[in-house]
Chains A and B, each alone.
Chain A
């Protein structure tokens, strides 16, 4: 569903469905037919489900209804759930109030957080809730369920930013949350060296 297309030129687009050849080609084809330009994108396959998220720019005079119609055609043909959303210049969806100018993903200090242990419900919530309480913002996150079905192991990796001045002690609540779940957690700085 397109939200407030007029007077904006950037959009977020997500598409999810059972993996099969041709999904990326079909979705991007519908966009290219209307002069849309792909900016950032990420795509992943999780247990046979393909997911893509894209930031798309479009000419101001683009026929939004035609793009939506073409995306709908692709979605029906490939059995995808597709969502397109117009963005303000600051990245917020056009249906929400404008927010601050800073990007929480690129300000502050960068950290890597690794968690692994016996699988049980609630690990991601416990760790990310502790991270949010510490003022952390998740930039990237991936989880994997591995090992034999009789003894599954859960892995969680997070790249996050913390407010300036934070130290590894700022992440102690994550270690405590991990301990409470009986899983192993390590954190280390992930700031890049600028050469």
Chain B
């Protein structure tokens, strides 16, 4: 386990589609722990995708515990090779990203969905998430497709300066 540096654009791994993890082995479990450790060590961070720590694999961690905008909350979890089925309407809300310096942006995201993947124990896992947890999942899923929120922003004037988290 270790806390890894978080990359920022224009790092190529952040704008490239990530590869499938496939079998969950020791390396995948170590990646899961690194995601959780790095997320926990980063102020105000509610999600982290493997490309953000320089690993081009389809894995992410989410933890919206205690966030005022959260309704569903599954605590800290990691999924490999996630897939999403959208089940609810989209809402526009402001979001930022550790990999995009200085800016936040208004992005429309679905508010209800089921995300399925493989857990670090190698077992299939399916979670129904909504509200802020759904936004976090979709934000991280975008990272696995080589997208950041700048690629989803609602309009040219929907980008704003980001406050600094310490």
Asked if A114 contacts B10 (CB within 8 A), the reply is no
A112 at interface by CB-CB < 8 Å = yes
Per the 8 Å Cβ criterion, residues 117-161 of B in contact with A are 146-148, 150-153, 155-159
Contact assessment for A153 and B156 in the assembled complex, using a CB-CB cutoff below 8 Å: no
* Closest-CB distance, A75 to chain B (whole angstroms): 26
Q: Chain B interface residue count: which class?
A: 20 to 34
Q: Is the pair B8, A116 in contact by a Cβ cutoff of 8 Å?
A: no
Residue in chain B with minimal CB distance to A112: B155
Tell me the chain A residues, 143-193 only, with Cβ under 8 Å from chain B: 144, 146-148, 153, 155, 157-159, 182-184, 186, 190
- Which of A141, A148, A157 makes the CB contact (< 8 A) with B153? A157
Between A and B, 29 residue pairs with Cβ closer than 8 Å are A112-B155, A114-B151, A114-B152, A114-B153, A116-B10, A116-B148, A117-B10, A118-B10, A140-B155, A140-B157, A144-B159, A146-B100, A146-B102, A147-B8, A147-B101, A147-B102, A153-B8, A153-B101, A155-B103, A155-B150, A157-B156, A157-B158, A157-B159, A159-B156, A184-B15, A184-B151, A186-B147, A186-B151, A190-B155
Chain B residues, CB < 8 A from A153: 8-10, 101
Write the nearest CB–CB distance from B43 to chain A, whole angstroms.
19
Interface residues of B (CB under 8 A from A): 8-10, 15, 100-103, 146-148, 150-153, 155-159
**Nearest-CB distance from B29 to chain A (Å)?**
31
* Interchain CA distance A178-B150 in the complex, whole Å: 15
- Which residues from 104 to 148 on chain A have a C-beta closer than 8 Å to any C-beta of chain B? 112, 114, 116-118, 140-142, 144, 146-148
Max count, chain A CB within 10 A of own CB: residue among B8, B101, B151, B153 = B151
Which chain B residues lie closer than 8 Å to A114 at the CB level? 150-153
Given contacts A116-B9, A116-B150, A186-B151, contact A144 B103 (CB under 8 A): yes
List chain A residues, Cβ under 8 A from B155.
112, 140, 157, 159, 190
Quick one: which of B10, B102, B147 contacts A144, CB cutoff 8 A? B102
Determine how close the nearest CB of chain A comes to the CB of B65; give it in whole angstroms. 29
Chain A CB within 10 Å, residue with most, of B10, B152, B157:
B10
Q: Which residues of A contact B103 (CB under 8 A)?
A: 144, 146, 155
B83 to chain A, nearest CB (A): 21
Which residues on A sit within 8 Å (CB–CB) of B153? 112, 114, 157
In the complex, chain A residues whose CB is within 8 Å of the CB of B159: 142, 144, 155, 157
Residues of chain B contacted by A116 (CB below 8 angstroms):
9-10, 148, 150-151
A16 to chain B, nearest CB (A): 18
Say whether, besides A144-B102, A146-B101, A146-B102, A117 and B156 are in contact (CB < 8 Å): no
When chains A and B are docked, how far (Å) is the Cα of A182 from the Cα of B100? 17
- Contact: A117 with B151, CB < 8 Å? no
Q: How far is the CB of A191 from chain B (nearest CB, A)?
A: 13
Nearest first, the 3 closest Cβ-Cβ pairs linking A and B are A146-B102, A142-B156, A157-B156
Q: How far is the CB of A13 from chain B (nearest CB, A)?
A: 20
**Contact at B156–A158, with CB atoms within 8 Å?**
yes
Q: Which residues of A lie under 8 Å from residue B101 when comparing CB positions?
A: 146-148, 153
CB-CB < 8 A to B150: which residues of A?
114, 116, 155, 157
- 15 more contacts with CB within 8 A, not counting A157-B155, A184-B146, are A112-B155, A114-B150, A114-B153, A116-B151, A118-B10, A144-B102, A148-B101, A153-B9, A153-B101, A155-B150, A157-B150, A157-B153, A157-B156, A182-B10, A184-B15
